[in-house]
Structure 1
Amino acid sequence: MRWWDIEPVLELEKDLFPEDAWSRGMFWSDLAHARGPEATRRYFVAEDESADGSRRIIGYGGLAAAGDVADVQTIAVAREHWGTGLGAVLLTELLRAATAFECAEVMLECRVDNVRAQKLYERFGFEPIGFRRGYYQPGNVDALVMRLRDPAASVPEAPSAPSAPSAPSAPSVQGTESNG
Protein backbone atom coordinates (compact mmCIF):
# COMPACT_ATOMS: atom_id res chain seq x y z
CA MET A 1 0.00 0.00 0.00
CA ARG A 2 1.21 3.46 -0.86
CA TRP A 3 -0.01 6.83 0.43
CA TRP A 4 -2.01 7.42 -2.75
CA ASP A 5 -3.89 4.17 -2.11
CA ILE A 6 -5.43 5.52 1.11
CA GLU A 7 -8.45 7.23 -0.50
CA PRO A 8 -9.58 4.19 -2.54
CA VAL A 9 -8.89 1.95 0.46
CA LEU A 10 -11.07 4.23 2.61
CA GLU A 11 -13.93 3.89 0.11
CA LEU A 12 -13.71 0.10 0.32
CA GLU A 13 -13.29 0.24 4.11
CA LYS A 14 -16.46 2.33 4.51
CA ASP A 15 -18.41 0.01 2.22
CA LEU A 16 -17.35 -3.16 4.05
CA PHE A 17 -17.23 -1.84 7.63
CA PRO A 18 -19.73 1.04 7.76
CA GLU A 19 -20.05 1.10 11.56
CA ASP A 20 -16.40 0.71 12.50
CA ALA A 21 -14.36 1.79 9.48
CA TRP A 22 -10.80 2.92 10.01
CA SER A 23 -10.14 6.62 9.61
CA ARG A 24 -7.75 8.26 7.16
CA GLY A 25 -5.47 9.08 10.11
CA MET A 26 -5.29 5.46 11.21
CA PHE A 27 -4.08 4.37 7.77
CA TRP A 28 -1.61 7.27 7.56
CA SER A 29 -0.23 6.40 10.99
CA ASP A 30 0.26 2.76 10.12
CA LEU A 31 1.87 3.56 6.77
CA ALA A 32 4.29 5.87 8.57
CA HIS A 33 5.51 2.81 10.47
CA ALA A 34 5.80 0.67 7.32
CA ARG A 35 9.01 2.09 5.88
CA GLY A 36 12.70 2.07 6.61
CA PRO A 37 14.95 -0.08 8.76
CA GLU A 38 12.77 0.37 11.86
CA ALA A 39 9.51 -0.58 10.10
CA THR A 40 6.98 -2.41 12.26
CA ARG A 41 4.10 -2.54 9.78
CA ARG A 42 3.49 -4.06 6.38
CA TYR A 43 0.50 -3.28 4.15
CA PHE A 44 -0.67 -4.76 0.86
CA VAL A 45 -3.26 -3.83 -1.73
CA ALA A 46 -4.78 -6.05 -4.39
CA GLU A 47 -5.61 -4.31 -7.64
CA ASP A 48 -7.71 -5.45 -10.56
CA GLU A 49 -7.30 -4.16 -14.10
CA SER A 50 -10.43 -3.43 -16.10
CA ALA A 51 -10.81 -3.81 -19.86
CA ASP A 52 -9.89 -0.14 -20.38
CA GLY A 53 -6.61 -0.57 -18.49
CA SER A 54 -7.65 1.32 -15.36
CA ARG A 55 -6.77 -0.24 -12.02
CA ARG A 56 -9.02 -0.51 -8.97
CA ILE A 57 -8.21 -1.60 -5.43
CA ILE A 58 -10.27 -4.70 -4.61
CA GLY A 59 -8.61 -5.75 -1.36
CA TYR A 60 -6.05 -4.81 1.24
CA GLY A 61 -4.42 -6.09 4.38
CA GLY A 62 -2.09 -4.85 7.08
CA LEU A 63 0.09 -6.35 9.78
CA ALA A 64 1.88 -4.87 12.81
CA ALA A 65 4.85 -6.53 14.49
CA ALA A 66 6.07 -6.06 18.05
CA GLY A 67 8.85 -8.33 19.23
CA ASP A 68 8.04 -11.88 18.25
CA VAL A 69 4.27 -11.30 17.94
CA ALA A 70 2.49 -9.93 14.88
CA ASP A 71 -1.08 -8.71 14.71
CA VAL A 72 -3.28 -8.71 11.61
CA GLN A 73 -4.49 -5.12 11.78
CA THR A 74 -6.94 -5.34 8.89
CA ILE A 75 -7.84 -7.46 5.90
CA ALA A 76 -10.65 -6.81 3.45
CA VAL A 77 -11.86 -7.94 0.03
CA ALA A 78 -14.46 -6.18 -2.14
CA ARG A 79 -17.77 -8.05 -2.01
CA GLU A 80 -17.74 -8.90 -5.71
CA HIS A 81 -14.44 -10.75 -5.15
CA TRP A 82 -15.59 -12.82 -2.17
CA GLY A 83 -15.03 -16.51 -2.78
CA THR A 84 -12.26 -15.98 -5.37
CA GLY A 85 -9.35 -16.78 -3.04
CA LEU A 86 -8.19 -13.18 -2.81
CA GLY A 87 -8.53 -13.16 0.98
CA ALA A 88 -6.21 -16.18 1.14
CA VAL A 89 -3.68 -14.42 -1.11
CA LEU A 90 -3.69 -11.34 1.13
CA LEU A 91 -3.45 -13.43 4.31
CA THR A 92 -0.54 -15.36 2.79
CA GLU A 93 1.29 -12.08 2.17
CA LEU A 94 0.62 -10.96 5.75
CA LEU A 95 1.98 -14.25 7.11
CA ARG A 96 5.06 -13.88 4.90
CA ALA A 97 5.55 -10.43 6.38
CA ALA A 98 5.21 -11.85 9.91
CA THR A 99 7.86 -14.43 9.03
CA ALA A 100 10.15 -11.69 7.66
CA PHE A 101 9.68 -9.82 10.95
CA GLU A 102 10.73 -13.09 12.67
CA CYS A 103 7.46 -13.35 14.58
CA ALA A 104 6.74 -16.64 16.35
CA GLU A 105 2.99 -16.09 16.39
CA VAL A 106 0.29 -13.99 14.78
CA MET A 107 -2.79 -12.67 16.55
CA LEU A 108 -5.99 -11.19 15.17
CA GLU A 109 -9.47 -10.11 16.15
CA CYS A 110 -12.47 -11.00 14.04
CA ARG A 111 -16.10 -10.02 14.48
CA VAL A 112 -18.00 -12.94 16.01
CA ASP A 113 -20.59 -12.57 13.23
CA ASN A 114 -18.00 -12.79 10.42
CA VAL A 115 -18.06 -16.55 9.88
CA ARG A 116 -16.56 -16.28 6.38
CA ALA A 117 -13.39 -14.67 7.76
CA GLN A 118 -13.20 -17.11 10.67
CA LYS A 119 -13.23 -20.04 8.24
CA LEU A 120 -10.41 -18.46 6.23
CA TYR A 121 -8.30 -18.00 9.34
CA GLU A 122 -8.98 -21.57 10.51
CA ARG A 123 -7.83 -22.92 7.12
CA PHE A 124 -4.48 -21.24 7.80
CA GLY A 125 -4.25 -22.77 11.27
CA PHE A 126 -5.51 -19.91 13.45
CA GLU A 127 -7.19 -21.10 16.63
CA PRO A 128 -9.72 -19.22 18.78
CA ILE A 129 -8.30 -18.27 22.17
CA GLY A 130 -10.88 -15.88 23.62
CA PHE A 131 -13.21 -12.94 23.15
CA ARG A 132 -13.07 -9.17 23.50
CA ARG A 133 -16.54 -8.09 24.60
CA GLY A 134 -17.94 -5.02 22.82
CA TYR A 135 -14.71 -4.61 20.83
CA TYR A 136 -16.29 -3.26 17.65
CA GLN A 137 -17.99 0.08 18.26
CA PRO A 138 -20.46 1.67 17.97
CA GLY A 139 -22.33 -1.61 17.35
CA ASN A 140 -20.95 -3.19 20.55
CA VAL A 141 -20.06 -6.39 18.63
CA ASP A 142 -17.74 -8.91 20.28
CA ALA A 143 -14.43 -9.91 18.71
CA LEU A 144 -13.17 -13.46 18.52
CA VAL A 145 -9.43 -13.46 19.29
CA MET A 146 -7.45 -15.97 17.24
CA ARG A 147 -3.80 -17.02 17.30
CA LEU A 148 -1.49 -18.76 14.85
CA ARG A 149 1.71 -20.28 16.14
CA ASP A 150 4.63 -20.52 13.70
CA PRO A 151 3.34 -18.46 10.77
CA ALA A 152 6.19 -19.67 8.54
CA ALA A 153 4.73 -23.19 8.64
CA SER A 154 1.34 -21.93 7.41
CA VAL A 155 2.59 -20.11 4.32
CA PRO A 156 2.36 -21.88 0.96
CA GLU A 157 5.56 -22.12 -1.08
CA ALA A 158 4.54 -19.62 -3.76
CA PRO A 159 1.64 -17.15 -3.88
CA SER A 160 -1.09 -17.91 -6.33
CA ALA A 161 -3.21 -15.00 -7.47
CA PRO A 162 -6.88 -15.93 -7.77
CA SER A 163 -8.68 -15.64 -11.02
CA ALA A 164 -11.46 -13.10 -11.14
CA PRO A 165 -14.17 -14.18 -13.58
CA SER A 166 -15.05 -10.66 -14.74
CA ALA A 167 -11.47 -9.42 -15.01
CA PRO A 168 -9.20 -9.83 -18.01
CA SER A 169 -6.23 -10.55 -15.75
CA ALA A 170 -5.63 -11.78 -12.22
CA PRO A 171 -5.38 -9.15 -9.46
CA SER A 172 -1.90 -7.98 -8.52
CA VAL A 173 -0.88 -7.71 -4.87
CA GLN A 174 1.62 -5.02 -3.92
CA GLY A 175 3.16 -4.22 -0.56
CA THR A 176 4.63 -1.20 1.14
CA GLU A 177 8.25 -2.21 0.64
CA SER A 178 7.91 -2.91 -3.07
CA ASN A 179 6.25 0.41 -3.87
CA GLY A 180 7.87 3.72 -2.98
Structure 2
Amino acid sequence: MDVIIRPMRKEDVEEVLEIEKLSFSTPWSKEAFISEVTKNSCAKYIVAEVDNKIVGYGGFWVVVDEGHITNIAVHPEYRSKGIGSKIMEGLIDLAKKNGITAMTLEVRESNITAQHLYAKYGFRQLGRRKGYYQDNNEDAIIMWKYDL
Protein backbone atom coordinates (compact mmCIF):
# COMPACT_ATOMS: atom_id res chain seq x y z
CA MET A 1 0.00 0.00 0.00
CA ASP A 2 1.42 3.36 -1.07
CA VAL A 3 0.87 5.89 1.74
CA ILE A 4 1.52 9.57 1.06
CA ILE A 5 2.13 11.85 4.05
CA ARG A 6 1.52 15.52 3.30
CA PRO A 7 0.41 18.73 5.05
CA MET A 8 -3.29 18.98 5.89
CA ARG A 9 -5.24 21.59 3.90
CA LYS A 10 -8.59 23.23 4.52
CA GLU A 11 -10.17 21.12 1.77
CA ASP A 12 -9.15 17.97 3.71
CA VAL A 13 -11.26 18.83 6.74
CA GLU A 14 -14.42 16.94 5.69
CA GLU A 15 -12.54 13.64 5.32
CA VAL A 16 -10.54 14.29 8.49
CA LEU A 17 -13.76 15.04 10.37
CA GLU A 18 -15.22 11.68 9.29
CA ILE A 19 -12.18 9.87 10.74
CA GLU A 20 -12.33 12.02 13.88
CA LYS A 21 -15.98 11.08 14.49
CA LEU A 22 -15.25 7.38 13.94
CA SER A 23 -12.27 7.50 16.30
CA PHE A 24 -13.18 9.61 19.32
CA SER A 25 -16.12 9.77 21.73
CA THR A 26 -15.74 13.56 21.97
CA PRO A 27 -14.66 14.57 18.45
CA TRP A 28 -13.34 17.96 17.49
CA SER A 29 -15.67 20.15 15.43
CA LYS A 30 -15.28 21.09 11.78
CA GLU A 31 -14.65 24.68 12.88
CA ALA A 32 -11.84 23.56 15.20
CA PHE A 33 -10.01 21.78 12.37
CA ILE A 34 -10.52 24.70 9.98
CA SER A 35 -9.12 27.07 12.59
CA GLU A 36 -6.13 24.80 13.18
CA VAL A 37 -5.14 24.70 9.49
CA THR A 38 -6.01 28.30 8.56
CA LYS A 39 -5.51 30.50 11.65
CA ASN A 40 -3.30 28.80 14.25
CA SER A 41 0.30 29.54 13.31
CA CYS A 42 1.49 27.15 16.06
CA ALA A 43 -0.47 24.21 14.62
CA LYS A 44 1.18 21.68 12.33
CA TYR A 45 -1.04 18.95 10.80
CA ILE A 46 -0.46 16.17 8.31
CA VAL A 47 -2.66 13.63 6.57
CA ALA A 48 -2.03 10.10 5.35
CA GLU A 49 -3.43 9.46 1.88
CA VAL A 50 -3.99 6.16 0.09
CA ASP A 51 -5.34 6.19 -3.49
CA ASN A 52 -6.33 9.88 -3.13
CA LYS A 53 -8.35 9.12 0.03
CA ILE A 54 -7.40 10.50 3.43
CA VAL A 55 -7.08 7.53 5.78
CA GLY A 56 -5.46 9.19 8.78
CA TYR A 57 -4.11 12.40 10.22
CA GLY A 58 -2.13 13.84 13.08
CA GLY A 59 -1.03 17.16 14.41
CA PHE A 60 0.82 19.05 17.08
CA TRP A 61 1.18 22.54 18.48
CA VAL A 62 4.59 24.19 18.57
CA VAL A 63 5.14 25.52 22.09
CA VAL A 64 8.56 27.23 22.10
CA ASP A 65 10.84 24.23 21.35
CA GLU A 66 8.33 21.49 22.26
CA GLY A 67 5.67 19.79 20.18
CA HIS A 68 2.39 18.96 21.92
CA ILE A 69 0.65 16.26 19.89
CA THR A 70 -3.04 17.13 19.78
CA ASN A 71 -4.49 14.17 17.90
CA ILE A 72 -3.67 11.18 15.76
CA ALA A 73 -6.27 8.95 14.15
CA VAL A 74 -6.55 6.33 11.43
CA HIS A 75 -9.78 5.38 9.68
CA PRO A 76 -11.06 2.08 11.18
CA GLU A 77 -10.86 0.32 7.81
CA TYR A 78 -7.14 1.15 7.55
CA ARG A 79 -5.97 0.35 11.08
CA SER A 80 -3.26 -2.25 11.73
CA LYS A 81 -1.68 -1.54 8.33
CA GLY A 82 1.22 0.63 9.50
CA ILE A 83 -0.47 3.96 8.78
CA GLY A 84 -0.27 5.10 12.41
CA SER A 85 3.48 4.50 12.24
CA LYS A 86 3.79 6.54 9.05
CA ILE A 87 1.86 9.40 10.71
CA MET A 88 4.13 9.26 13.77
CA GLU A 89 7.22 9.31 11.55
CA GLY A 90 5.76 12.26 9.64
CA LEU A 91 5.03 14.19 12.83
CA ILE A 92 8.49 13.56 14.26
CA ASP A 93 10.11 14.61 10.98
CA LEU A 94 7.97 17.76 10.83
CA ALA A 95 8.82 18.55 14.46
CA LYS A 96 12.55 18.29 13.73
CA LYS A 97 12.15 20.62 10.74
CA ASN A 98 10.46 23.13 13.07
CA GLY A 99 13.27 23.09 15.65
CA ILE A 100 11.38 20.96 18.15
CA THR A 101 13.61 19.18 20.69
CA ALA A 102 10.92 17.27 22.66
CA MET A 103 7.36 16.08 22.09
CA THR A 104 4.54 15.26 24.49
CA LEU A 105 0.99 13.91 24.36
CA GLU A 106 -1.84 12.61 26.50
CA VAL A 107 -3.39 9.22 25.80
CA ARG A 108 -6.28 7.41 27.45
CA GLU A 109 -5.14 4.95 30.06
CA SER A 110 -7.26 2.29 28.31
CA ASN A 111 -5.77 2.95 24.84
CA ILE A 112 -3.00 0.37 25.05
CA THR A 113 -2.64 0.16 21.24
CA ALA A 114 -1.79 3.87 21.02
CA GLN A 115 0.55 3.65 24.01
CA HIS A 116 2.48 0.87 22.27
CA LEU A 117 2.70 2.93 19.07
CA TYR A 118 4.09 5.92 20.95
CA ALA A 119 6.54 3.75 22.92
CA LYS A 120 7.80 2.33 19.60
CA TYR A 121 8.93 5.87 18.73
CA GLY A 122 10.62 6.51 22.06
CA PHE A 123 7.80 8.13 24.03
CA ARG A 124 7.88 7.24 27.74
CA GLN A 125 5.16 7.46 30.38
CA LEU A 126 6.14 10.27 32.72
CA GLY A 127 2.88 11.36 34.32
CA ARG A 128 -0.86 11.06 34.69
CA ARG A 129 -3.77 13.49 34.52
CA LYS A 130 -6.52 12.24 36.81
CA GLY A 131 -10.02 12.39 35.28
CA TYR A 132 -8.70 14.13 32.16
CA TYR A 133 -11.31 12.79 29.74
CA GLN A 134 -14.67 14.43 30.37
CA ASP A 135 -16.81 11.77 28.69
CA ASN A 136 -15.96 9.07 31.26
CA ASN A 137 -13.54 10.70 33.74
CA GLU A 138 -10.73 8.40 32.54
CA ASP A 139 -7.14 9.26 33.42
CA ALA A 140 -4.69 10.34 30.74
CA ILE A 141 -1.17 9.01 30.60
CA ILE A 142 1.33 11.77 29.82
CA MET A 143 4.10 10.60 27.50
CA TRP A 144 7.27 12.44 26.48
CA LYS A 145 9.98 11.98 23.88
CA TYR A 146 13.10 14.05 24.50
CA ASP A 147 15.58 12.75 21.94
CA LEU A 148 14.44 14.34 18.71
Counterpart of 2:102 in structure 1: which amino acid?
E
Larger proportion of strand: 2
Separation of aligned partners in 2, 1:134 and 1:97: 31
- Structure 1 residue matching 2:104: 3-state secondary structure: strand
Structure 1: gaps (5+ residues) = 50-54, 152-180
Which structure has the larger Rg over C-alpha atoms? 1
CA deviations over 1:56-115 (Å, ceiling 9, x no partner): 211001111111111111111112222211101001111111111111100001111110
CA distance in 2, matches of 1:40, 1:110: 21
- Structure with the larger RCO, 1 or 2 (CA within 8 Å, 6+ apart): 1
TM-score by length of 2: 0.89
> Stretches of 4+ moved more than 2 A in 1?
none
Q: What is the RMSD computed on CA atoms of the aligned residues? A: 1.3
Which letter maps to 1:61? G
Question: TM-score when scaled to structure 1?
Answer: 0.74
Distance 2:78 2:18 in 1: 16
- CA-CA distance at 1:33 after TM superposition: 4.3
Give yes or no for the alignment of 1:30 onto 2:45: no
Identity within the alignment, %: 38
User: Is the 1:111–1:142 contact (alpha carbons within 8 Å) kept by the matching residues of 2?
Assistant: yes
Q: Which runs of 5+ in 2 are unaligned?
A: 1-7
Specify the SS of the correspondent of 1:138: coil
SS at match of 2:77: helix
Identify the residue that residue 170 of structure 1 maps to in structure 2. Answer: none
Q: Tell me the matched-pair count.
A: 141
1:112-131 equivalent positions in 2, closer than 5 A: 112-131=109-128
CA distance in 2, matches of 1:60, 1:130: 25
1:150 equivalent in structure 2: 147
